Amino acid sequence: DAGITQSPRHKVTETGTPVTLRCHQTENHRYMYWYRQDPGHGLRLIHYSYGVKDTDKGEVSDGYSVSRSKTEDFLLTLESATSSQTSVYFCAISPSGATYEQYFGPGTRLTVT
């Protein structure tokens, strides 16, 4: 597996609390992504980054923010968690240039009660 870690791997939190998920890579890849995975919906892009401090929204970005202050770290923040944000969150990385492949981290299972 590519050098990608996610933390925490599991989290239970209450509605209305802020939550931050961390993705860390050791591959020095330019692109980083946050997806959520829900039954019947496959993988949906939340936000992505194409460089330090360069981020953009994906198709399901409402209620989420991201930050990337270093190449290796990409943070996903739920400012005020809701039950609809209960999901499995995957980080992915991709190099720049002619390579298109994305490689996924192990995932974070988040439960909002």
Partner 1 sequence: GENVEQHPSTLSVQEGDSAVIKCTYSDSASNYFPWYKQELGKRPQLIIDIRSNVGEKKDQRIAVTLNKTAKHFSLHITETQPEDSAVYFCAATTRNTGNQFYFGTGTSLTVIP
- Residue 94 binding partner 1, by CB under 8 A: yes
The total of other beta-carbon atoms located within 10 Å of residue 102's CB is: 18
- Interface residue with partner 1, options 7, 28, 41, 84 (CB under 8 A): 41
> Quick one: 18 or 34, whose CB is closer to partner 1?
34
40 CB contacts (<8 Å, ≥6 apart)? none
- Residue 67 binding partner 1, by CB under 8 A: no
Establish whether the linkage from the previous residue to 39 is cis, with ω within 30° of 0: no
- Residue 75 binding partner 1, by CB under 8 A: no
- Interface residue with partner 1, options 50, 69, 86, 112 (CB under 8 A): 50
- Residue 62 binding partner 1, by CB under 8 A: no
In 3-state terms, what secondary structure has residue 28? Answer: coil
Contact between 37 and 90 (Cβ < 8 Å): yes
**Which part of the chain contacts partner 1 (CB under 8 A), choosing from 14-22, 48-56, 65-73, 74-82?**
48-56
